[in-house]
């Protein structure tokens, strides 16, 4: 039981303590790394407990169930929690090694980690919103981190406004859920929503979809995304795309598959269309860009489309694909954004691993993401969907190869006067690339955990289906 | 905006504002009120000072520069109180003493751990409000 | 009562959305505040019940729902924090660009990009 709260408590207290100190000093940065490392270790231990004993649950304040706020860890939550904290840890390590440039950076990253840990481990709808805001507010501040803050501030304002609008629409959906079901506990709400009046539940579902679509950067809600990702420093871009975007994927899975399965099925066709447009739009835009970070930003929009399509296919195979793809995609994006800012020997190798992983070439982890997606496409028995997935994959291979060529093969890019980056940073990205390859060679833990999460969601969907 | 009227009103209202804030903070357990509301009311008192006497004078009477430290310490107090029950094996945010037991009373103030939590929230909110006021007050270059 | 609440929420949300479409940064912030208040009102409306405060309930008392009030308070706090943050960002935009007009900002952005491109082409 203590294990469920400890990772959250450690990182939250650490964030508050470090806020008092100047983050540019080296020991503060390393203290933040230590705190976040403890958080990741705690979450990993909790993950081991969850796979052995099943769902862990706790009600705060010794209140009876249904009165206090529920904290709960199941396979779906823990997989995203570990992933997001690990990405944050790598990004923080990168920035500490490169030299932190603002006094608040380490503490902000820890606050975001606290928000994300809480968000993935809460079983309460309103508490979800609170942690959601706790992780978004550091993101608004981090988006102007680094040099040339003056140029980024306009994009940051739009980023903040659009995402806040999404948050409040989500809050209205929470209010609607409470009105319809009279509970905020996710599992009880899921049961009661199944019997509620379909029209009102559909409205709630639309609100939830808009909120997480904005977060994930799906096609019609994506316009804030490219300027932010292009302007951000490598570490911040990795944080936003590798850790924060997980909220969108997790939210769609948790709310769509576990809470609103009937509405998900009803809207499946629309979701497939939106997802497909996202895939094609992201790929086309990425193809036409030359700047590495711009290509990666548009690629993120396309990859979000895959997750949505997998979710819409539904059933065990679809949810499994969505989870695996979300995990692999966030690792890829963290690796690529961190590598994109570096120059020197072996950086190209790390980048190529990430690029292959996005394109789904074995032996990278991305291969299994693509395989899972194709399985979902086969299960749907739709030729059009399979063709789309294939075209999307081929396009991603083309644009990744294009920027690889552009960034690392041009003689002036590799030798053009720029100093090679510090060896530690290159080592870090190589290590991350090693992890991506390792998950491609030995994917069993990832697949087992995702399988558990998919069973959970598919079970929920099966139970409440009429 | 410094006129006799604003200055007199500010002088008359600052002390009551803080008194009301303290009352809201203390009474929050059997009546309307909590740390957040108390923090906002106290922050409004400081806003009155800023508006009536300007940033420089306010800095002279109040340790405005410490606002950030006050806010973070408040957060720390609240978090420590919230997570401390973990050490005793209870879930976080468990009250001490538990609901059935007799509580020590000081007037209307009941000494339970939730009061310490609310004091933390009060410090956090007051610190944030005063900090943002100070940030906004630096805009008026003529005054600084 | 719920109808009244829904009406107010709808008007608030609509006005907020209209203001958010304006180019003036501060109008956008005000629009955001209105939408956050619409969300808070929706929260309160989601559990409307008349009755005594549930602090020392007697068995046959009618109680008001305390949960909505807790949620509304929390949402107010969060809305307060993000409004402060948005105003701070808007103020920074104003001090660094001397303008609070989003159209003007994007025009400046385009101009700067063109300059950068020109530098890249003819170094």
A154: pLDDT strictly greater than 70 = yes
What pLDDT, on a 0 to 100 scale, did the predictor assign at position C57? 66
Q: What is the tally of structural domains in chain B?
A: 1
Q: Is B93 on the interface with A (CB under 8 A)?
A: yes
Q: Is A137 on the interface with C (CB under 8 A)?
A: yes
pLDDT in tens, B79-103: 999 888 888 878 888 877 776 777 7
Domain range list for chain A? 267-466
pLDDT higher for A430 or A416? A430
Calculate how close chain B gets to A98, using CA atoms only, in Å.
27
d(C-alpha B29, C-alpha C53), whole Å:
12
Instruction: Tell me whether residues A5 and B92 touch, CB distance under 8 A.
Output: yes
C43: pLDDT strictly greater than 50 = yes
Mean pLDDT of chain A: 87
> What residues of chain B, 67 to 86, have a C-beta less than 8 Å from chain A?
69, 72-73, 75-76, 79-80, 83, 86
- The position carrying tokens 């072996």 is A346
| Among A54-68, A264-278, C4-18, the least confident range | A54-68
B142: pLDDT strictly greater than 50 = no
- The position carrying tokens 């100190």 is A21
pLDDT bucket at A340, cuts 50 / 70 / 90 = confident
d(C-alpha A100, C-alpha B49), whole Å:
37
Tokens of A400: 């990744």
- Cβ count near B15 (within 10 Å): 10
- In A252-314, where does DSSP find H-type helix? 261-266, 268-288, 292-313
Give DSSP secondary structure letters for A139-194.
Answer: HHHHTT-SS-HHHHHHHHHHHHHHHHHHHHHHHHHHHHHHHHHS--BHHHHHHHHH
pLDDT bucket at A464, cuts 50 / 70 / 90 = very low
Calculate how close chain A gets to C103, using CA atoms only, in Å.
11
Cα distances (angstroms) measured from residue A301 to each of A216, A334, B10: 8, 15, 54
Contacts of residue A130 in chain C, CB cutoff 8 Å? 74, 78
What pLDDT, on a 0 to 100 scale, did the predictor assign at position B14? 87
Instruction: Tell me whether residues B75 and A16 touch, CB distance under 8 A.
Output: yes
pLDDT higher for A405 or A86? A86
CB A280 within 8 A of CB A103: no
Which of B28, B118, B136 would you mutate first to test chain C, the one with the most C CBs within 10 A?
Answer: B136
| Among A89-98, A263-272, A419-428, the least confident range | A419-428
Of A351, A349, A348, nearest in space to A332 by CA:
A351
Tokens of A426: 């290159």
d(C-alpha B35, C-alpha B24), whole Å:
8
Which of C29, C80, C98 would you mutate first to test chain B, the one with the most B CBs within 10 A?
Answer: C80
- The position carrying tokens 């975007």 is A245
Give DSSP secondary structure letters for A230-242.
Answer: HHS-HHHHHHIII
Nearest CA in chain C to A176: C46
Span A420-445, average pLDDT: 86
Instruction: Tell me whether residues C45 and A175 touch, CB distance under 8 A.
Output: yes
Q: Is A153 on the interface with C (CB under 8 A)?
A: yes
Angle in degrees, CA C103, A158, C91, rounded to 5: 80
A-B CB pairs within 8 A amount to 48
Tokens of A396: 């991603």
Chain A touching partners, 3 or more CB pairs below 8 A: B, C
Residues of C with CB under 8 A from a CB of A: 9, 20, 25, 28, 32, 35-36, 38-39, 42-43, 45-47, 67-68, 71, 74-75, 78, 81-82, 85-86, 89-90, 92-93, 96-97, 102, 105-106, 109, 112
Burial of residue B16 (number of CB atoms within 10 Å: 0-12, 13-18, 19+): exposed
CB A440 within 8 A of CB A366: yes
What pLDDT, on a 0 to 100 scale, did the predictor assign at position A466? 32
What pLDDT, on a 0 to 100 scale, did the predictor assign at position A114? 95
Calculate how close chain C gets to B3, using CA atoms only, in Å.
27
Contacts of residue A58 in chain B, CB cutoff 8 Å? 91
A448: pLDDT strictly greater than 50 = yes
pLDDT higher for B31 or C122? B31
Instruction: Tell me whether residues C78 and A130 touch, CB distance under 8 A.
Output: yes
Torsion of CA A367, A388, A245, A145, to 10 degrees: 90
Which CATH number fits the domain that encloses residue C78? 1.10.287.3510
CB A217 within 8 A of CB A301: yes
Span A307-336, average pLDDT: 90
The three-state secondary structure class of A56 is: strand
Span C11-21, average pLDDT: 93
A45: pLDDT strictly greater than 60 = yes
Q: Is A168 on the interface with C (CB under 8 A)?
A: yes
Q: What is the tally of structural domains in chain C?
A: 1
Calculate how close chain C gets to A319, using CA atoms only, in Å.
31
Contacts of residue C55 in chain B, CB cutoff 8 Å? 30
d(C-alpha B107, C-alpha B105), whole Å:
6
d(C-alpha A312, C-alpha A135), whole Å:
27
Chain B touching partners, 3 or more CB pairs below 8 A: A, C
Span A16-36, average pLDDT: 91
A280: pLDDT strictly greater than 50 = yes
What pLDDT, on a 0 to 100 scale, did the predictor assign at position A195? 85
pLDDT in tens, A221-244: 888 888 888 888 889 999 999 999
Q: Is A161 on the interface with C (CB under 8 A)?
A: yes
Calculate how close chain B gets to A20, using CA atoms only, in Å.
7
Domain with B83, as residue range(s), is 4-143
Instruction: Tell me whether residues A164 and C82 touch, CB distance under 8 A.
Output: yes
- The position carrying tokens 């649950």 is A57
Strands (E), A40-104: 56-59, 70-73
Instruction: State the DSSP H helix or E strand holding residue C90, giving kind and residue range, or none if neither.
Output: helix C66-97
What pLDDT, on a 0 to 100 scale, did the predictor assign at position A463? 44
- In A409-443, where does DSSP find H-type helix? 411-415, 423-441
Angle in degrees, CA A257, A259, A260, rounded to 5: 70
Give the max Cα distance, chain C: 84
Mean pLDDT of chain B: 82
Q: For residue A252, give the DSSP letter.
A: I
Of A135, C91, C74, nearest in space to B133 by CA:
C91
Q: Is C89 on the interface with B (CB under 8 A)?
A: no
A156: pLDDT strictly greater than 80 = yes
Mean pLDDT of chain C: 84
d(C-alpha A337, C-alpha A340), whole Å:
5
CB A298 within 8 A of CB A226: yes
Contacts of residue B75 in chain A, CB cutoff 8 Å? 16, 19
Domain with C54, as residue range(s), is 2-121
CB B118 within 8 A of CB B28: yes
What pLDDT, on a 0 to 100 scale, did the predictor assign at position A462? 47
């Amino acid at each position: 039981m203590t294990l469920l709260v400890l990772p959250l408590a450690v990182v939250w207290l650490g964030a508050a303590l470090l806020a008092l100190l100047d983050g540019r000093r080296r020991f503060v940065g390393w203290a933040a790394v230590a705190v976040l490392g403890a958080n990741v270790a705690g979450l990993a231990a909790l993950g081991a407990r969850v796979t052995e004993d099943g769902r862990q649950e706790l009600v705060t304040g010794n209140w009876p169930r249904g009165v206090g706020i529920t904290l709960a860890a199941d396979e779906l939550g823990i997989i995203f929690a570990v992933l997001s904290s690990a990405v944050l840890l790598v990004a923080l390590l990168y920035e500490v090694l490169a030299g932190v440039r603002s006094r608040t950076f380490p503490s902000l990253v820890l606050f975001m980690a606290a928000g994300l840990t809480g968000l993935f481990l809460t079983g309460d709808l309103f508490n979800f919103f609170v942690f959601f805001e706790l992780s978004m507010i550091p993101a608004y501040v981090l988006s102007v981190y680094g040099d040339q803050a003056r140029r980024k501030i306009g994009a940051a304002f739009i980023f903040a406004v659009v995402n806040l609008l999404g948050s409040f629409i989500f809050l209205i959906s929470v209010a609607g859920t409470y009105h319809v079901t009279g509970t905020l506990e996710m599992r009880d709400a899921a049961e009661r929503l199944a019997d509620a009046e379909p029209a009102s539940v559909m409205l709630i579902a639309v609100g939830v979809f808009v909120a997480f679509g904005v977060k994930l950067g799906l096609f019609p809600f994506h316009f804030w995304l490219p300027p932010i990702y292009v302007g951000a420093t490598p570490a911040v871009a990795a944080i936003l795309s590798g850790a924060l975007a997980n909220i969108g994927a997790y939210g769609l899975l948790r709310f769509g598959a576990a809470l609103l399965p009937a509405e998900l099925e009803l809207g499946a066709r629309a979701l497939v269309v939106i997802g497909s447009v996202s895939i094609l739009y992201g790929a086309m835009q990425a193809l036409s860009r030359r700047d590495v970070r711009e290509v990666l930003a548009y690629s993120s929009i396309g990859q979000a489309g895959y997750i949505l399509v997998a979710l819409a296919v539904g059933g065990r195979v679809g949810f499994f694909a969505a989870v695996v793809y979300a995990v692999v995609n966030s690792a890829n994006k963290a690796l690529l954004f961190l590598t994109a800012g570096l120059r020197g020997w072996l950086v190209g190798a790390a980048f190529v691993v990430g690029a292959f992983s996005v394109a789904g070439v074995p032996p990278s982890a991305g291969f299994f993401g693509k395989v899972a997606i194709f399985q979902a496409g086969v299960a749907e028995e739709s030729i059009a969907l399979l063709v789309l997935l294939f075209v999307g994959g081929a396009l991603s291979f083309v644009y990744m190869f294009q920027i690889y060529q552009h960034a690392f093969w041009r003689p002036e890019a590799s030798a053009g006067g720029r100093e090679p980056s510090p060896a530690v940073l290159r080592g870090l990205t190589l290590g991350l690339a090693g992890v991506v390859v390792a998950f491609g060679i030995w994917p069993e833990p990832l697949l087992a955990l995702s399988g558990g999460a998919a069973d959970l969601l598919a079970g929920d969907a099966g139970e409440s289906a009429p | 905006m410094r006129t006799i009227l604003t200055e007199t009103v500010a002088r008359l209202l600052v002390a009551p504002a803080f008194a009301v804030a303290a009352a809201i903070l203390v009474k929050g357990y059997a009546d309307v009120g909590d740390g957040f509301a108390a923090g906002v009311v106290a922050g409004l008192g400081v806003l009155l000072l800023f508006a009536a006497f300007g940033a420089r004078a306010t800095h002279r009477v109040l340790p405005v520069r410490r606002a950030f430290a006050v806010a973070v310490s408040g957060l720390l107090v609240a978090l420590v109180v919230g997570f401390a029950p973990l050490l005793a094996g209870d879930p976080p945010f468990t009250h001490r003493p538990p609901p059935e037991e007799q509580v020590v009373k000081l007037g209307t103030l009941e000494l339970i751990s939730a009061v310490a939590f609310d004091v933390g929230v009060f410090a956090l909110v007051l610190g944030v409000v005063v900090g943002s006021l100070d940030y906004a007050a630096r805009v008026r270059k003529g005054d600084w | 009562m719920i109808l009244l609440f829904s009406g107010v929420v709808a008007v608030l949300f609509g006005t907020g959305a209209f203001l958010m479409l304006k180019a003036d940064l501060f109008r956008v912030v005000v629009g955001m505040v209105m939408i956050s208040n619409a969300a808070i009102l929706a929260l309160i409306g989601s559990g409307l019940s008349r009755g005594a405060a549930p602090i020392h309930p007697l068995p046959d008392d009618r109680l008001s729902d305390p949960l909505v009030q807790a949620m509304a308070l929390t949402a107010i706090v969060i809305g307060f924090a993000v409004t402060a943050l948005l105003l701070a960002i808007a103020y920074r935009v104003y001090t660094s660009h001397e303008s609070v007009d989003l159209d003007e900002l994007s025009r400046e952005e385009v101009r700067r990009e063109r300059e950068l491109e020109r530098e890249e082409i003819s170094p």
